Structure 1
Amino acid sequence: MTDVTESDDIDRGSAPAPQGRRKGLVLGGAVLGLLVVAGGGAYALMQSGVLGGAPAAEAMAVAEDVHFYDLPVMTVNLNTGGESVEFLRITASLEVRDAAMMEVIEPRIARVLDAFQVYLRELRRSDLEGSAGVYRIKEELQRRVNIAVYPAVVDDILFRELLVQ
């Protein structure tokens, strides 16, 4: 009797895996293989520059050619509709590509400050909430600055301080 029981255990141990488990393993392996191939392809395309990824040397060259023009600290009243008094204190820098543009911007800085003042005085506290609000303000200020300093071009506005009180 013991021989029959041992042979039954051996037969059960060598039985193939259930059909559903085998399909799951094959499907999981296929998905993993697809992810590896897609990741490798994306990496290769980024290194070649096709997907917008600039090579490292080119990115370093761009970073070295950037110049900054520091604007004075500005403090303005926010538009509260007469309910209370709220202030916005902002310190920003203008990012430009080369020093020649700095020379064009310098005599037009009064126009830049005026454009900032006019726009910032109409803001409400709710306009400054969240990163999306700050991004919209940054984009609008950049648009207004580029109009004020034309033919020069300001590539970006960098906030060093943005305080609402």
Structure 2
Amino acid sequence: MASEADIEEGAAPKKGIPKLFIIIGAAAVVVLLGGAGLYFFLSSGTAEAEHAAAATDEHGAVIEAPHTFIFNLPPMIINLNNEGSGNAVMKLTVALEVANEEMMVEIQPRMAKVVDAFQVYLRELRKSDLEGSAGVYRLKEELLRRVNVAIYPSRVESVLFKEILVQ
């Protein structure tokens, strides 16, 4: 019987050792994951500092973003193509973003052509063409294309919507 007691006493520590390895392994995994998370958290702050440093030239002087100028167009009220289902009206206020003040002076005499190009295009739109962000994006891209054709060789950087109302 003494041999059975030795076996039972010897068996008990063997069961405790695998549990101890599992606990130590789990603790190590938790420490490693916590360290990795801390590393990524702290390194994200340095990425912002590197981005700020990228906006400087080789002498450390800050490089400013180019200034743009806004050219406001008068509000337009357009009857949309109604396809026989009641009246649909759109009120649109647009601003044009240009690179410099000289460009504003150049495009001023051609604004009648721009408004005419906008009116011709907008009157053919249906209310369903303007639904959702994709419809507004397509409208913005088409107006940008038309304004650049109307004022060529001058160029507008982008079309900005100040107000879009469709009823």
TM exceeding 0.5: yes
Q: 1:128 aligns with which of 130, 139, 154?
A: 130
Match of 2:41 in 1: 36
List per-residue Cα deviations over 1:109-147 (Å, max 9, x = no partner).
Answer: 121011111221122222222333222211211111011
Distance in 1 (alpha carbons) for counterparts of 2:96 and 2:118: 12
Aligned AA for 1:106? Q
Q: Name the CA shift for 1:56/1:127 in 2 (closer, same or farther; >3 Å).
A: farther
Q: Name the CA shift for 1:129/1:20 in 2 (closer, same or farther; >3 Å).
A: farther
List per-residue Cα deviations over 1:53-100 (Å, max 9, x = no partner).
Answer: xx97513xx34xx32222122111212312221001111111112121
CA displacement at 1:33 relative to structure 2: 3.8
Q: Cα RMSD over matched residues? A: 2.6
Q: Name the CA shift for 1:125/1:27 in 2 (closer, same or farther; >3 Å).
A: farther
Matched, 1:145 2:151: no
CA displacement at 1:16 relative to structure 2: 8.2
Aligned AA for 1:36? F
> Structure 1 length as normaliser, TM-score?
0.73
Match of 1:76 in 2: 78
Distance in 1 (alpha carbons) for counterparts of 2:33 and 2:78: 59
Equivalenced residue count is 143
Match of 2:30 in 1: 25
Q: For residue 64 of structure 2, give the secondary structure of its aligned residue in structure 1.
A: helix
Unaligned runs of 5+ in 1: 1-14
Unaligned runs of 5+ in 2: 1-19, 56-60
Larger gyration radius, structure 1 or structure 2: 2
Match of 1:89 in 2: 91
Match of 1:45 in 2: 50
Match of 1:10 in 2: none
Distance in 1 (alpha carbons) for counterparts of 2:165 and 2:62: 36
Distance in 2 (alpha carbons) for counterparts of 1:120 and 1:107: 22
Distance in 1 (alpha carbons) for counterparts of 2:113 and 2:121: 12
Match of 1:157 in 2: 159
Distance in 1 (alpha carbons) for counterparts of 2:153 and 2:161: 23
